[in-house]
Amino acid sequence: MPFLFSIEEHKKDRHKYVMITGFDEGTSDLVVPAEIDGLPVEAIGNHAFSGRQDLLTVTLPGSIKTLYGFAFHNCRKLKKISLFDSIDDYYDGVCRQCDSLKEVEITVIRGWYEVVRNFLADNDRTLRFVLNLQEDSEDNAGHPAKTVLTFPEYVYDFNENTMARTIQFSIAGSGMFYRECVDRRSIDYRQYDRLFEKAVIDGGEISENIAIDRLLYPVELAEDFRKAYEEYVRANAESILKRLVEESPNEPENQGIVKALLTYGSNGPAEGLLPSEAVDMAIKLSAQKGFTQMSAVLMAAGRPSAEEGMFKL
């Protein structure tokens, strides 16, 4: 087995468990097993994968309870980490200097959001969290709910005022305020949604993603905020579709996002979220670039039916 590990004994109940200390082969998609030699894998050791330049994704099992310091430090190409809310101990620098890290997917079994707080405290860059909510949460179809939340970046800076002999601190960007919405046991969705006006000031892709994800995954989304997000997406439909189309070769999930936006509120007004002018622009752009799959999605869902005046699904 290519995993390097040590067998440890728990200080409280003396049970034995495995701590991963490394991986002896090259891999882009690392999947850590829940057991090795019949023992549960409960920890990722200090610097276990630090400096790995081959890792793109990491998947950790629900048996993991401890992430030791700098476990994935300086993995410059790492884009996504998937794990559970089983983490009791998260040490400093776990994902520090992971400059490509964009998404953290967490399966929430016990309603423990401390792991979200830990990732956010460890990283001042924009992070997107996909939270699979298994505890007491269902969507309209009766399935376990899913929420997707983007936390913007921020810049924390200080300047020395030599004349006054003081240090002046400043925070730029809305990210610090968004981070305050997460508690150990809950997420304050209303506060998260209230902050959207600050994210809009930052502008661009981040605010677009916040609005899209809250509409497509509306866990605890109040009606007034829903309307505000809808208005924002309609007003920025051309910018949103242009970006989703242009990025689609490297981001295949964009096809699903476009389809969801086109069919959003399909029982309501025919134009839904995306005005026909924006959809026509996206169809032309996709055709010009030769993106056949994206073109098919746009043509199938984006043209009104002559008989019904509704989007075809």
What digits encode the pLDDT tens for the residues 21-35? Answer: 999 999 999 999 999
Residue 61 lies in a domain: no
Residue 311 lies in a domain: yes
Q: Domain limits at 294?
A: 237-313
d(CA 19, CA 7): 6
| Domains identified in the chain, total number | 1
Band of the pLDDT at 134, cuts 50, 70, 90? confident
Task: Please indicate, yes or no, if residue 3 is contained in any of the structural domains.
Answer: no
| pTM of the predicted protein model | 0.88
Please compute the mean of the pLDDT values over residues 222-243 and round it to a whole number: 96
d(C-alpha 140, C-alpha 130), whole Å: 18
The set of residues, in sequence order, having a beta carbon less than 8 Å from that of 253 and lying 6+ positions away, is none
Indicate whether 294 belongs to any domain: yes
Say if 274 falls within a structural domain.
yes
Q: Among 220, 173, 166, 218, which Cα is nearest to 199's?
A: 173
Could you give the CA distance from residue 200 to residue 174 in angstroms, rounded to a whole number?
A: 9
Label residue 160 by pLDDT band (50, 70, 90).
Answer: low
67 lies in a domain?
A: no
- Residue 143 confidence (pLDDT): 53
**Between the CA atoms of 245, 251, 252 and 253, what dihedral angle is there, to the nearest 10 degrees?**
-90
In the structure, what pLDDT confidence band is assigned to residue 311 with cuts at 50, 70 and 90? very low
Is 251 inside a domain boundary?
yes
Instruction: Tokens for 286, please give them.
Output: 């996709």
pLDDT at 38: 97
Please check whether residue 279 lies inside any domain of the structure: yes
